[in-house]
């Protein structure tokens, strides 16, 4: 199934997801090159929300640019298979070789703001990420390795400590929404 159809068929969890889904679909039809960073206003990204087997912890990285604990993820860079993008980013950013997608369907669909920042000596202007999130399971005893050009640490965060560890306040409701969906759907 192509990306447009996946997003069309996505069942919004709340009003935010309904509005974001509708805007993402409109952007896909009216704007060019939303799968790559050539579109500097908005483009697709994909994130991995990695949990341990008993769902008490989330695997997060300490992101160098945002100075905050966050999920793993990255730009689609032309790849419409956002599940594959999320898995690749999880493996790269956490130094993992084995991860398991709990389901193929995205668990969250969000339009996320990105503040202006420096990356590799160049200024990246503020823009929007059209983000699909997927849930993965990672074993508790796995060994991590930070991807130092992007993050300075990798580790388990207790689900009830995310608010204290994440300094990007706009991300906390997203993480809480995903945790609630995992619990409600018994994923």
For each of the domains in the chain, give its residue range(s) and CATH number, in order of start. Answer: 3-184 (3.90.79.10)
Please report where in the chains the tokens 């493996």 appear, as a residue. Answer: 91
pLDDT score at 119: 86
Low-confidence ranges of the chain (pLDDT < 50): none
- What tens digit of pLDDT does each residue of 24-42 get? 999 999 999 999 999 999 9
Structure tokens at 30: 């009216």
pLDDT score at 59: 98
Please report where in the chains the tokens 């018994």 appear, as a residue. Answer: 186
Structure tokens at 165: 């560890």
Rg (CA), the chain: 16
Cα torsion angle, 144, 73, 164, 18, sign:
negative
pLDDT score at 21: 98
pLDDT score at 97: 93
pLDDT score at 66: 86
Q: How does DSSP classify residue 114?
A: E
pLDDT score at 61: 97
């Amino acid at each position: 199934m192509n990306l447009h159809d996946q997003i069309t068929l996505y069942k919004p969890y709340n009003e935010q997801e309904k509005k974001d889904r509708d805007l993402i679909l409109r952007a896909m039809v009216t704007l060019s090159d939303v799968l790559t960073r050539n579109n500097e206003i908005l483009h697709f990204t994909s994130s991995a929300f990695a949990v341990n087997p008993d769902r008490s912890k989330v695997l997060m990285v300490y992101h160098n640019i945002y100075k905050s604990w966050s999920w793993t993820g990255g730009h689609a860079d032309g790849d419409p298979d956002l599940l594959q993008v999320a898995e690749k980013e999880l493996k790269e950013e956490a130094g993992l070789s084995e991860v398991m997608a709990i389901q193929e369907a995205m668990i969250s669909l969000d339009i996320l703001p990105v503040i202006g920042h420096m990356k590799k000596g160049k200024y990246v202007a503020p823009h929007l990420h059209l983000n699909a999130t997927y849930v993965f399971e990672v074993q508790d005893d796995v060994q991590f390795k930070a991807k130092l050009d992007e993050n300075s640490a990798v580790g388990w965060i207790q689900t009830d400590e995310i608010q204290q560890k994440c300094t990007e306040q706009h991300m906390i409701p997203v993480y809480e929404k995903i945790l609630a969906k995992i619990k409600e759907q018994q994923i």
